[in-house]
Structure 1
């Protein structure tokens, strides 16, 4: 939109924010004269050259009617004061309770939710059982959980798997001598004790023969089936806190073997 100063005839560009600040009254930026921009307000300029913009006749003119509505706010609902209860009607609503709809739906949803809770609990127990089975060796060897598991298993009549911990196997005595009946063989006897609080499987016995300089001359690994003649004894394992005498037969490497060592795997 455009408006013209009536004194210096300068035409200015106008916007609705400028016109609304003082209801159309503005100050000319060229001659500093005050004028009403609404008197010469025009939507477009006439062809140049021109002297004055056409004046707007506002006195006595009919008010324009606007029809293109873009928004109408919704009227606020009036707040009504609670009416006092009618007396003498014979009806008492003081004990009447109302249950909201969402509360009823929550109760119905809770009744349908318990099968899912039971299923989740069962799956959680199965997961714990799988983890316990995967870590069964650590649980049986644990000083806190091990005794409790052994008591529980004894009451249920089951057997716990044997857990091996060679660090708790100690050699109490050992001896080596020529085999009395087999020439060229040695007879090694040893006594081992299980200091663990649980039964252990029979270990693999490692016999190492060395010379006077500590150089290894021969080594042999003997499985339980090789030094235990009874298969039942091998299946039961080495009892907790128990001792066992081992008799091993190995080949004699000759006179150079002056030392031997026994280990467990």
Structure 2
């Protein structure tokens, strides 16, 4: 009996759906054996799933017309490109590709993480700068040790650091209006101002209103610090914390003949 055999291609089996396919050596050489199943679309390494011996024995033919027992073969497997838009994995096996994808995902995640860190730090710096600018007066008052730094910061922004103006922490401890025995038309205003704040404050303006017996205003005048401060008292230094000063003003009332007065403190 004359027996002949035909040179056959190798057979590989899909590990997902168990479908078998013919594959040539040229197909195996492409992309390091990575192929896609034509039935279930799974991607696998054809070299690792070869079933060459089983196929050869089933495809052996004889002349007495024995019925050929052929392995079911689907359409040729589809070759897939082994590249990525950004990273080229064509030289890697399946395991290596998975590892490379994990590494690339880790790198991307790390870059995103550091980007958020940088953005957060910038936002914190901007917020601190704005807070320092808007509360520079209070910061200088409560933390006098950092005032030189704040002054340098304000020079860059072309701003200044004035003394606080908390009028509710200033008070008139006492006051009175008396006539001058030497001059009939002259009266003297005596008052004591107190700063109850734990920091120095800007000297306030004084508003004096002279009234008659019906408590009607006869005259009103505003005195800025420069008019009521005594010699040696520095207006720029401000009214010291928990400190008080005495004020005495001589006023020529002419023919007004006031019988009362009202005295207020305020900041312009």
Q: TM-score, normalised by structure 1?
A: 0.52
Distance 2:149 2:221 in 1: 41
Q: Which residue of 2 aligns with 1:244?
A: 245
Displacement of 1:241: 0.9
Distance 1:166 1:212 in 2: 30
Is residue 190–residue 247 contact of structure 2 (8 Å, CA) maintained in 1? yes
Label 1:122 to 1:161 Cα distance change in 2 as closer, same or farther (>3 A).
farther
After superposition, residues 144-163 of structure 1 pair within 5 angstroms as 149-150=142-143, 152-153=145-146, 161-163=162-164
Q: 2:202 aligned with 1:201, yes or no?
A: yes
Distance 1:251 1:200 in 2: 30
Displacement of 1:161: 3.5
Is residue 136–residue 150 contact of structure 2 (8 Å, CA) maintained in 1? no
Displacement of 1:119: 6.3
Displacement of 1:121: 1.9
Displacement of 1:169: 1.4
Displacement of 1:231: 7.4
SS at match of 1:128: helix
Q: 2:39 aligned with 1:75, yes or no?
A: yes
Distance 2:182 2:131 in 1: 53
Larger helix share, 1 or 2: 2
Displacement of 1:101: 2.6
Count the aligned residue pairs: 174
Distance 1:156 1:127 in 2: 18
Q: Which residue of 1 aligns with 2:85?
A: none
Larger strand share, 1 or 2: 2
After superposition, residues 185-264 of structure 1 pair within 5 angstroms as 185-230=186-231, 233-254=234-255, 256-264=257-265
Which protein is bigger by CA-based radius of gyration?
A: 1
Distance 2:188 2:129 in 1: 47
Distance 2:250 2:103 in 1: 83
Displacement of 1:110: 3.6
Displacement of 1:154: 6.7
Distance 2:257 2:195 in 1: 33
Displacement of 1:205: 0.5
SS at match of 1:178: strand
SS at match of 2:263: strand
Is residue 188–residue 248 contact of structure 2 (8 Å, CA) maintained in 1? yes
Q: Deviation per CA, 1:2-57, whole angstroms, max 9, x where unpaired?
A: xxxxxxxxxxxxxxxxxxxxxxxxxxxxxxxxxxxxxxxxxxxxxxxxxxxxxxxx
Label 1:230 to 1:77 Cα distance change in 2 as closer, same or farther (>3 A).
same
How big is the alpha-carbon RMSD for the aligned residues of Structure 1 and Structure 2?
A: 4.1
Displacement of 1:255: 5.6
Distance 2:231 2:126 in 1: 38
Which runs of 5 or more residues in structure 2 are unaligned? 1-37, 49-95, 152-159
Distance 1:258 1:129 in 2: 54
